[in-house]
Amino acid sequence: MAHEHHHEHHQEEGIKPIVVRIIVAALLLVAAVIVEKRFNLATWQLLLVFLVPYLVAGFDTLKEAVEGLSHGEALDENFLMSIATIGALCIGFLPEAEPQFAEAVFVMLFFQIGELFETVAEGRSRRSIAHLMDIRPDTANLEKDGSVEVVAPDSVRVGDIIVIKPGEKVPMDGVVIEGTSSVDTVAISGESVPRKIAEGDDIFSGCVNLGGVLRVRVTKAFGESTASRILELVEHAADNKSRSENFIARFAKVYTPIVVVAALLLAIVPPLFGGNFATWLYRALMFLVVSCPCALVLSVPLSFFGGIGGASRKGILIKGSNYLEALSKLDTVVFDKTGTLTEGVFEVTAVHPEIIEERELLHLAAHVERFSTHPIAASLRAAYPQENDDCSVENVEEVAGKGIRALVNGKTVCVGNSAMMEACGANWHACHKEGTVIHVCINSEYVGHIVISDRVKADSAEAITALKAAGVSRTVMLTGDRESVGKAVAKQLGLDECYAELMPADKVSKVEMLLGGMARGRKLAFVGDGINDAPVLARADVGIAMGALGSDAAIEAADVVLMDDNPSKVAMAVRIARRTIHIARENTWFAIGIKLLVLILAAAGIATMWMAVFADVGVTVLAVLNAMRALR
């Protein structure tokens, strides 16, 4: 963050001199106009009087124009402004021409005001993102030899113990080894309800500790922790440019030379047919001032920047304005079922806790199911992912329709339904809970069962309704679960289509099939929880990973990352994207429209230099202010 503060400080330092210069130049301009009215000075004397405010206001612009020329990038706005104003200063020396000294100074002055607005607006966008990203603390409390010292977070190593006091931000990801508390994750996930944290739980950087003192063993270095990763993502989002932004950049490159040539022709051709050279030169100079593309070049990227910043404040990370543009054109949204629309919760009941505790029961079941391709096996493995421990698992055999038998550390473990238990000769207990029940026995002795109950998330139905309201025409669910379960969930949520009993590879081919049947220009998003969905996330036009707080795989694979588990955030992301694109379009048409109008008026001799300045700087200021709306 130190860099960020330095950046802000540097920016505020940069604003003060501009403001002072504008005020001084304005006062000097007023003085010069009074001198012009009072005293009957020769043209060259007047020029000297007006040169003072001109140089005060325009020194930077002239300097940058010269630098641009020396780097071979002549046709930027500094160059256009310099040529136009120097031309206006020189017009007065032509026969039968009125001096335009005051106008020349005014153009420079107003151009500086426009630059000031840009600096302030961009500063606000950056600050809003920096404020959202004020989630990385500047210090960490490191425990060393029984005492606690305050250190810079990047000096803490993985495996060190840090102490987090109430009210402090969590500096890096880790596991709680002592203490209980609740943490506020709103800065990262946008979720307002605090999460309970106890011994053995993971804790993520950027959250705020609300309750007790926590001792945490660090699992990720500062730069690899959740908060740093998010910051990096938002900062680099600008690298992935959308088609609109690329179009504007290309447009400016082609447009500026055309305008300069048109202005030259406007100055030279009419006088050849008897027009007054001074009049046409003045019109050509106005033409140059109006044609400056800064409103476009600035406001469109600023709109996207604002949209991405605004979304990240709500716990939605969009990795680039190209994905923002794709989100605004969504036609089909494909959801994974377990963990995305439903909670996929496990209830583990050990019948003989003295023989085996609940965690051990889950551990055994996951080992036996390790080689099965069944969706239930996949969810068991996800619940107990630490597979690479010292257990030996041999002689795995699948008993069709019943379950799996295997030798774990020399004991025969059977995992399956009640028929499996009967086949093993175990005296099993019935379970009356809703969901899929998996029984476990060791050496024919029944030890307990695991219930996988797939509850639909509280806001899943609302999420589907909101997507329909946002103009998404198809919602599809893919699941590895049984057809009957999938159909029931799809019906309950009002989804258009449901495909069940799929392996992870089948999900990719289903997405390809859906992509094949779509109209041109429409986009498909896949929403998954990112653990086993990486291939599908990568294949969709927009891969959206949900509940990615702390999940590296999801943050890497997805284009849009939702930090909490609420499917309704998908519709929110679509709304933010549509609004941002709408603002960028408004700016494009507004800027081009006003410019064309004043260009025509300038060529016809109706427009004045003051109108020309408004068409350039005024439009830029309005477009930038409009772009700021995207932040909200």
The whole-number pLDDT of residue 496 equals 94
Is 229 inside any structural domain?
no
519 and 467 in a common domain:
yes
127 and 47 in a common domain:
yes
pLDDT category at 351 given cuts 50, 70, 90 is low
Each residue's pLDDT tens digit, 44-83: 888 899 999 999 988 988 898 888 888 876 667 788 778 8
Strands (E), 313-392: 316-318, 330-336, 345-350
13 burial class (0-12, 13-18, 19+ CB within 10 angstroms)?
A: exposed
Angle at alpha carbon of residue 493, lines to 491 and 494, rounded to 5°: 65
Distance CA 176, CA 197 (A): 8
* CATH classification of the domain holding 209: 2.70.150.10
Alpha-carbon torsion 599, 605, 611, 613, what sign?
Answer: positive
Is 230 inside any structural domain?
no
SS3 for 521? coil
More confident residue, 340 or 216: 216
Instruction: Look up residue 493 and give its two tokens.
Output: 């949520």
Distance CA 165, CA 143 (A): 13
Each residue's pLDDT tens digit, 339-350: 788 876 665 656
CB atoms within 10 A of CB 278: 18
pLDDT category at 8 given cuts 50, 70, 90 is very low
Is 227 inside any structural domain?
no
pLDDT category at 601 given cuts 50, 70, 90 is confident
Mean pLDDT of 88-112: 81
530 and 622 in a common domain:
no
500 and 369 in a common domain:
no
The whole-number pLDDT of residue 525 equals 94
The whole-number pLDDT of residue 54 equals 93
Residue with tokens 């939605």: 316
DSSP conformational letter for 40? -
Look at residues 453, 478, 505 and tell me which one is the last residue of a structural domain: 453
Instruction: Look up residue 102 and give its two tokens.
Output: 């005051």
Which candidate, 471, 195, 365, 159, places its Cα nearest to that of 204? 195
Instruction: Look up residue 262 and give its two tokens.
Output: 């048109």
Residue 165 pLDDT exceeds 80: yes
* CATH classification of the domain holding 366: 3.40.1110.10
Is 290 inside any structural domain?
yes
What's at 250, amino acid-wise?
Answer: R
Mean pLDDT of 360-371: 81
pLDDT category at 494 given cuts 50, 70, 90 is very high
Which candidate, 298, 157, 159, places its Cα nearest to that of 223? 157
Mean pLDDT of 582-597: 87
492 and 406 in a common domain:
no
Is 224 inside any structural domain?
no
Instruction: Give the lowest-confidence range in 88-97, 197-206, 333-342, 458-467.
Output: 88-97
Query: Measuring CA to CA, how many Å separate 89 from each of 42, 44, 134?
Result: 14, 10, 49
512 and 447 in a common domain:
no
Distance CA 500, CA 98 (A): 81
Residue 487 pLDDT exceeds 80: yes
pLDDT category at 164 given cuts 50, 70, 90 is very high
Residue 540 pLDDT exceeds 70: yes
Residue 315 pLDDT exceeds 70: yes
Angle at alpha carbon of residue 556, lines to 550 and 560, rounded to 5°: 85
Is 228 inside any structural domain?
no
Instruction: Give the lowest-confidence range in 60-69, 75-84, 105-114, 187-196.
Output: 187-196
Mean pLDDT of 201-212: 87
How do 330-336 and 523-528 pair as beta strands?
parallel
Residue ranges making up the domain that contains 21? 2-132+236-305+578-631
Catalytic positions:
336
pLDDT category at 530 given cuts 50, 70, 90 is low
Distance CA 51, CA 101 (A): 8
Look at residues 577, 592, 609 and tell me which one is the last residue of a structural domain: 577
Residue 218: beta bridge partners?
A: 174
DSSP conformational letter for 499? E
How do 474-478 and 330-336 pair as beta strands?
parallel
Each residue's pLDDT tens digit, 410-444: 888 998 888 888 888 888 777 766 667 888 898 88
DSSP conformational letter for 237? G
Each residue's pLDDT tens digit, 243-300: 777 777 777 777 778 888 888 898 899 989 888 888 888 888 877 777 777 777 777 8
540 φ, ψ (degrees, to nearest 5): -65, 160
Residue with tokens 């050990």: 350
DSSP conformational letter for 338? B
Q: Average pLDDT, whole number, for the chain? A: 81
Which candidate, 332, 372, 327, places its Cα nearest to that of 576? 327
The whole-number pLDDT of residue 533 equals 73
Distance CA 418, CA 438 (A): 8
Distance CA 428, CA 418 (A): 7
431 and 363 in a common domain:
yes
Percentage of the chain beyond pLDDT 90 is: 19
39 and 128 in a common domain:
yes
Cross-sheet strand order for the sheet of 181-184 = 195-197, 181-184, 208-209
What's at 467, amino acid-wise?
Answer: L
Under 8 Å CB-to-CB from 241, ≥6 apart: which residues? 249, 320, 321, 322
Cβ contact 105:57 at 8 Å: yes
pLDDT category at 3 given cuts 50, 70, 90 is very low
Residue 4 pLDDT exceeds 70: no
CB atoms within 10 A of CB 404: 21
Report the 3 state secondary structure along 156-221: CCCCCEEEECCCCECCCCEEEEECCEEEECHHHHCCCCCEEECCCCEECCCCEECCCCEEEEECCC
391 and 511 in a common domain:
no
266 φ, ψ (degrees, to nearest 5): -65, -35
pLDDT category at 13 given cuts 50, 70, 90 is low
265 and 410 in a common domain:
no
462 and 335 in a common domain:
yes
Mean pLDDT of 588-617: 80
Residue 5 pLDDT exceeds 50: no
22 and 120 in a common domain:
yes
Is 350 inside any structural domain?
yes
More confident residue, 398 or 547: 398
DSSP conformational letter for 547? S
Is 183 inside any structural domain?
yes
Residue with tokens 């025969």: 412
* CATH classification of the domain holding 546: 3.40.50.1000
Which candidate, 366, 355, 374, 377, places its Cα nearest to that of 426? 355
Cβ contact 380:369 at 8 Å: yes
| Number of alpha helices (DSSP H) and beta strands (DSSP E) in the chain | 21, 22
Domain count of the fold of the chain: 4
Under 8 Å CB-to-CB from 625, ≥6 apart: which residues? 117, 121
